[in-house]
Structure 1
Amino acid sequence: MLVAAAVCPCPPLLVPEVAAGAAPELDAARAACSEALGVLAAARPDRLLVVGPADESGRGTYPEGTRGSFRGYGVDLAVRLGRGSGEGVAERELPASLAVGAWLLARHGWPKTPVEGLGVAPQLAPERCAATGREIGAHPGRTALLVLGDASACRTLKAPGYLDERAAPYDAEVARALGAADLPALMALDAGLARELKAAGRAPWQVLAGAAEGAGLEGTLLYEDAPYGVGYVVAAWS
């Protein structure tokens, strides 16, 4: 049963070593992520599942102790999922979104609750996202989710996807739905529009919606902004 969820963005720039001199620009987002993780810890889950977007090579499950790094961003910084030793874990590294999740958990000082990872293809159909979520929600014991994903990347002329006038209203609806734990609204997010707006969080959010069915969770919006022209949302469900 799902007992709590935290929704966080996953730009590598959240990691100060990656952001370098621009690190203070995301201090508010980092603080909100810490607050959301506090809600997860307070729920005392039996396990934590970290869910984030991943390309074809990064899809699938990741056991506790799986390693990740930010070397691809010019920073010699390694992370590990949860507190596992990593012994006996396959050499496949965490996708970037889950590496950010592992960094957030380490920064927060996550308790000894077991942690696993799930990489989800951004193009996964909504019904399959919901089905994956329902399987998670049916897991015995108290489950919490750390759900990673960014909204549109088209909020300004300098955004990665250039300016798209549909981006701001899309992100506003995403923030409203995540803040209200509005499951039907999250499931109604259009996969095609999300792809056009480069909103990689759509699939993980719909996994969350499936997992939360019947759980009766209430949401709180902790942060919503678009630094660098990319929509970032932080919310906590409990």
Structure 2
Amino acid sequence: MLVAAAVCPCPPLLVPDVAAGAAPELDAARAACADALGLLAAARPDLLVVVGPDAETGPTAYAQGTPGSFRGFGVERDVTLGQARDGVVGTLPPSLAVAGWLLERTGWADAPIEGLGVGEPLAVDRCIEIGSGIAARTERVALLVMGDASACRTLKAPGYLDERAEPFDAEAARALETADLAALKGLDADLARELMVSGRAPWQVLAGAADGAALRGALLYEDAPYGVGYLVAAWS
């Protein structure tokens, strides 16, 4: 059963080495992510599953110790998903590499970790089904859910300005703040794709995992630096 969840954005800029001189601009987001992960640790899960957007439709599994890197962003900075292990194959997608950095930064050592990549085309029903399966894995499961809201909040945003972006993000933020599973399940996948929302599929995996768990939500951070919506939430 799902006992806790943290929702964090996944821009590589969250890693100070990548952001360089702009790093202070996301200090509040980093602090909120640390607080959310602290609540995960306090829940004492038997298993932590990290879910994030992936280039492949998926779901694609990543074992504990899978390596990731920010070298593609011009920084010689490597991470692993949890404690490094010999013989692990594969490479983390950027979203799970950011998660690996967050876990390393907060000193996570409380439970085994598994990673799961879900691609933007993954259907809503399939996301919910995957989440339900995760929750059934063991008695106490926690989720770290990575993903961004829309990338169309300003003229300089990656997707340019779209007037639909702010209302979409506001509804996603409300749903995460109140742990409104129906609202998360009801997020429009087509609209999310048009608004370049990377978090839609991971959030709907969370909604499937939380069925019957009666968790309460809290929104710890909401902003749109660089024209991209970033949300941090904690469910417990």
TM-score normalised by structure 1 residue count: 0.97
Tell me the equivalent position of 1:32: 32
Within 2, Cα distance between the matches of 1:139 and 1:56?
23
Tell me the equivalent position of 1:195: 193
DSSP-derived class of the 1:6 partner? strand
- 1:86 deviates by 2.3
- 1:141 deviates by 2.2
Which of 166, 189, 210 does residue 208 from structure 2 map onto? 210
Is 1:70 aligned to residue 70 of structure 2?
yes
Q: Is the 8 A contact 1:58 1:95 kept in 2?
A: no
Tell me the equivalent position of 2:4: 4
| Paired letter, 2:209 | A
Q: Is the 8 A contact 2:49 2:143 kept in 1?
A: yes
Q: Is the 8 A contact 2:46 2:138 kept in 1?
A: no
Q: 1:89 to 1:4 in 2, by over 3 A?
A: same
Tell me the equivalent position of 2:17: 17
Tell me the equivalent position of 2:228: 230
- Alignment length (residue pairs): 236
Equivalent residue runs for 1:1-238 within 5 Å? 1-56=1-56, 59-83=59-83, 85-90=84-89, 92-238=90-236
Identity %: 71
- 1:138 deviates by 1.2
DSSP-derived class of the 1:213 partner? coil
Q: Deviations over 1:131-162 (max 9, x none)?
A: 00010111122100000000000000000000
Within 2, Cα distance between the matches of 1:112 and 1:89?
20
- 1:111 deviates by 2.0
Within 1, Cα distance between the matches of 2:176 and 2:24?
25
Within 1, Cα distance between the matches of 2:123 and 2:25?
34
Within 1, Cα distance between the matches of 2:183 and 2:139?
27
TM-score normalised by structure 2 residue count: 0.98
Q: 1:135 to 1:231 in 2, by over 3 A?
A: same
DSSP-derived class of the 2:117 partner? strand
Q: Structure 1 stretch 175-184 or stretch 55-64: which is displaced more?
A: 55-64
CA RMSD of aligned residues (A): 1.0
Q: Is the 8 A contact 1:69 1:76 kept in 2?
A: yes
DSSP-derived class of the 1:52 partner? strand
- 1:234 deviates by 0.2
| Paired letter, 1:42 | A
Within 2, Cα distance between the matches of 1:205 and 1:161?
21
| Paired letter, 1:72 | G
DSSP-derived class of the 1:236 partner? strand
Q: 1:165 to 1:201 in 2, by over 3 A?
A: same
Q: Deviations over 1:9-28 (max 9, x none)?
A: 00000000000000000000
Q: Please list every run of at least 4 consecutive aligned residues from structure 1 whose deviation after the TM superposition is greater than 6 angstroms.
A: none
DSSP-derived class of the 1:64 partner? coil
What runs of 5+ residues in structure 2 fail to find an aligned partner? none
Within 1, Cα distance between the matches of 2:218 and 2:177?
5
